[in-house]
A and B are shown apart, each in its own frame.
Chain A
Amino acid sequence: MKADEIKQLQEENEFLKKEVERLKDELVRMVSRNLDLSERLEYDVELRRRTEVAREIIEGNVERQRNADLQDDGQLMAIIEMRLEKDRPHLRPDFNAQALAEMLGVSQNRLVQLFRHQTIHHTPEAFIDNLRTLEALRLLREQPNYTIAVVAEEAGFANVRTLQRRILEIIGMSPVDYRLMLTKDL
């Protein structure tokens, strides 16, 4: 092999060595960039996993809190029924949701929430009204000598018109017809 050929091969060899080094540098940059992306991906996956765990914990706490509230609601509802049965404050026409809240020492808002979840009447006013209507029906049955006006007053209705409307809503007839029906049955 001639000296100039050897020199040419040596030069080519040097060039290829440099090219290999350049490619390695390029590869290091690409690997480094891939690692950046991988680390970000791993961070995202970890963040998502932690978020999921946090969500499960929060949902568990909300569920436990809801159950605790329901239990408290049940206790409060039992207290209301006991107090109303004992003192019968609903037989006074001025007894309303505000008076009930004051009697129990709770806010009106608390009562609204309670009745929405715990009763079919949905509001304290409707619940009190229902107790008055039941009392009026009892008086209509058991006190045939009471006039409708007296029944309304005794049951806690502010006026006869409201009594008539409530009884019509519940049993589909007027107080007078209800009494007539009871008389016929006898």
Chain B
Amino acid sequence: MDITINEQEGRLVAALRGDLDNAASSQANRELAPVFERTDCDVVIDCTELTYISSSGLRILLNIYKHTRTNGHTATLKGLVENVEEVFNLSGFLQLFNIEK
């Protein structure tokens, strides 16, 4: 699991690469901590290279969604591949997040 965070066009973009499974979720939680420190911008989760996500991974993204919404900003899922998109769809995430191709 590899995570990079940078700011693009006034939005905070967190790019996730590899499998966000139960084993990787603690590491992901730590590395995504800067997202929770920001209250002033929209957040984009770039899933272009995300290959798998478990329920503990979904939990982290749900917390990001709740954080940005509480601060009056939007959370966006970007570049979903087919199998990951199906997981997001089944878990109701596609109704919560904004979606970008």
Against A, the Cβ 8 Å flags (1 = close, 0 = not) of B18-55 are 00001000000000000000000000000000000011
User: How many A-B Cβ pairs are below 8 Å?
Assistant: 34
Q: In the bound complex, what is the Cα–Cα distance between A28 and B75 (angstroms)?
A: 13
Q: In the bound complex, what is the Cα–Cα distance between A38 and B96 (angstroms)?
A: 18
Q: Which of A24, A30, A38, A46 has the most CB of B within 10 A?
A: A38
Overall SS of chain A's interface: helix
In the complex where A28-B62, A39-B55, A42-B54 touch, is A34 in contact with B92 (Cβ < 8 A)?
A: yes
Q: Which A residues touch B96, using CB under 8 A?
A: 24, 27-28, 31
A168 to chain B, nearest CB (A): 73
A31 to B, closest residue via Cβ: B92
Q: In the bound complex, what is the Cα–Cα distance between A42 and B56 (angstroms)?
A: 10
In the complex where A28-B66, A31-B62, A32-B62 touch, is A42 in contact with B95 (Cβ < 8 A)?
A: no
Q: Which of B22, B55, B58 has the most CB of A within 10 A?
A: B55
Whether the pair A31, B66 counts as a contact (CB closer than 8 A) is no
Q: Which A residues touch B65, using CB under 8 A?
A: 28
Whether the pair A31, B54 counts as a contact (CB closer than 8 A) is no
Whether the pair A31, B55 counts as a contact (CB closer than 8 A) is no
Q: Which residues of A contact B (CB under 8 A)?
A: 24, 27-28, 30-32, 34-35, 38-39, 42, 46
Q: Which residues of B contact A (CB under 8 A)?
A: 22, 54-56, 58-59, 62, 65-66, 69, 91-93, 95-96
Given A31-B62, A34-B92: 10 more A-B contacts, CB < 8 Å:
A28-B62, A28-B65, A28-B66, A31-B91, A31-B92, A35-B55, A35-B58, A38-B58, A39-B55, A39-B56
A and B contact pairs by CB, cutoff 8 A, 24 listed: A24-B69, A27-B92, A27-B96, A28-B62, A28-B96, A30-B92, A31-B62, A31-B91, A31-B93, A31-B96, A32-B62, A34-B91, A34-B92, A35-B55, A35-B58, A35-B91, A38-B58, A38-B91, A39-B55, A39-B56, A39-B59, A42-B55, A42-B56, A46-B22
